[in-house]
Amino acid sequence: MDSDATRGLYRKYLVERTDGSSGPGGKHEHCEYFVLDLVHDKHALIALEAYAESCELEYPSLYDDLNNILAKLLPSRRCVPSPVRGLKDRECSAPAVIPLGNGCWFCVEHGLEVHRRYSANGFDGGIGPSGIAALVRRGALTISEGGWKGGK
User: What's the CA gap between 90 and 104, in Å, rounded?
Assistant: 15
Q: Is the pTM of this model over 0.95?
A: no
How many Cβ atoms from other residues are within 10 Å of residue 48's Cβ?
A: 18
pLDDT digits (tens), the chain, 152 positions: 557 788 888 889 999 999 999 999 999 999 999 999 999 999 999 999 999 989 988 999 999 999 999 988 987 788 877 666 655 667 788 888 888 777 788 889 888 888 888 777 776 657 778 888 888 888 888 876 335 555 54
- Boundaries of every domain in the chain: 10-150
Q: Give the angle subtended at the CA of 126 by the CAs of 120 and 87, to the nearest 5°.
A: 70
Q: Cα-atom radius of gyration of the chain, to the nearest Å? A: 20
Helix (H) or strand (E) holding 118: helix 108-120
Beta carbons of 106 and 117 less than 8 angstroms apart: no
User: What's the CA gap between 70 and 24, in Å, rounded?
Assistant: 35
